[in-house]
Amino acid sequence: MIKGTTKLLGVIGHPVEHSLSPAMHNAAISHLGVDFVYLPFPVKPGDLKAALAGFAAIGVRGFSITIPHKQAILPLLSEVSPIARAIGAVNTVYLTDKGWCGTNTDVEGFLAPLQSPPTPPYQGGAKDPTSGLERGNTVVESDSAPYETRAVESCLPPYQVGARGGSDWSQKVAVILGNGGAARAVVAGCAQLGCVEIHVVGRSEQNLAEFQQSWVNSPMPVQNLQVHTWENLSMLISQADLLVNTTPVGMYPQGEKSPVADGEIDRISAGAIVYDLIYTPNPTQFLKDAQLRGARAIDGLEMLVQQGAAALKIWLNKESVPVDVMRQALRQHLGLD
């Protein structure tokens, strides 16, 4: 029940009506029994600065950011975490003693399925539970400790080199399809895993060159990054231990499409991990094709859940949140159960 004491969280975007975040965050808030509510706030591009001032005035504790504000908000924040600067985008904002601080939880969301053992009730992804490189989920118990109202002292520390957990990626090759904003979070994640080679595939040689150069002097430099045009995809797929689609190809309503042709996906190694950031349809044609050839599949729904869980931990100042509750809420909302 919303009361006079209820603290506000939310998501800003334009449009924002389609956002799935309220469903998963409010499910977790209800499960935890904390006096918060998570609301969608439509904010037009020209109103972003005014919205930040308004949020501060009414005591909003934090918010998520979606298109078109992820880059535009950067100069309006008091602090930006190193990982957000490296990616060039903010998806999570929270209050600090210095004002609004921005970070990016997409990297944590991307990495979570690659670093944890699979846990029911999630139905997608790798089926063999014996490998540390396979599909998985982080499910944590709820923590009912009261929220501390103090402001967080500073932005989160930069990500450390190397994967958390027992997986050894030091000899693994990652191939990333696309070189847009989503690809930046994936590159950062693969660098954190410690992949020996990171290959990015795009269509424009100039854009690819700029993408590669942007990581040289980044707060999170990536030295083992190589870029390629799509003509090299067949060769790269045969080398890939991890193949990630960051393009919109195959997204609803064009769910029959795949970014990789049949003849090219035939070259995927059995046991390789194929990861699609798209979550509708579920699974995508790309993942279905890869699974038929013995690959292990991860869909974008888990990344969405895990990046949201990482943000909720920041806002509630908790070490754990009910990830399983958030996942189930999204699956029901999307009609997957």
Kindly report whether the peptide bond that precedes residue 118 is cis, defined as omega within 30 degrees of 0: no
pLDDT < 70 positions in the chain: 116-167
Assess contact for 24 and 302: CB atoms under 8 A.
no
Q: What is the pLDDT of residues 127-154, one digit of tens each?
A: 332 222 222 232 222 233 333 333 344 4
Are the C-beta atoms of residues 225 and 215 closer than 8 Å to each other? yes
- Residue 41: C-alpha distances to residues 55, 72, 300 (Å): 10, 16, 24
Q: How far apart are CA 87 and CA 108, in angstroms?
A: 13
User: Among 7, 44, 49, 70, which one carries the catalytic annotation?
Assistant: 70
For residues 308 and 109, the answer to whether their CB atoms sit within 8 Å is yes
The predicted structure's pLDDT at residue 117: 52
Predicted local confidence at residue 159, as pLDDT: 32
Residues whose CB is less than 8 angstroms from the CB of residue 298 and which lie 6 or more positions away in sequence, other chains included:
113, 114, 124, 125, 126, 135, 273, 274, 275, 276, 287
pLDDT of residue 116: 56
Whether 7 sits among the annotated catalytic residues: the reply is: no
Give one word for 226, left, alpha or beta, with left for phi > 0 and alpha for psi -120 to 50. Answer: beta
CA 216, 220, 225, 228 torsion-angle sign: negative
> pLDDT tens for residues 168-204?
899 999 999 999 999 999 999 999 999 999 999 999 9
Instruction: Look at residue 156 in the predicted model and tell me its pLDDT.
Output: 47
Q: What's the rounded Cα separation, in Å, for the pair 218 and 82? A: 9
The C-alpha atoms of residue 319 and residue 263 are separated, in whole angstroms, by 46
Q: What are phi and psi of 247, to 5 degrees?
A: -85, 165
Cβ proximity of 224 and 260 under 8 Å: no
Q: What's residue 337's pLDDT?
A: 82
Q: DSSP alpha helices (H): ranges in 81-178?
A: 82-87, 106-115
Pick from 114, 149, 152: nearest CA to 132:
114
pLDDT in tens, 92-128: 999 988 899 999 999 999 999 998 554 333 333 333 3
The answer to whether 185 and 107 have CB atoms below 8 angstroms apart is yes
pLDDT at residue number 1: 84
Judging by DSSP bridges, how do beta strands 92-96 and 62-65 pair with one another?
antiparallel
What local confidence, expressed as pLDDT, does residue 123 receive? 32
At residue 305's C-alpha, the angle toward residues 247 and 121, to 5°, is 115
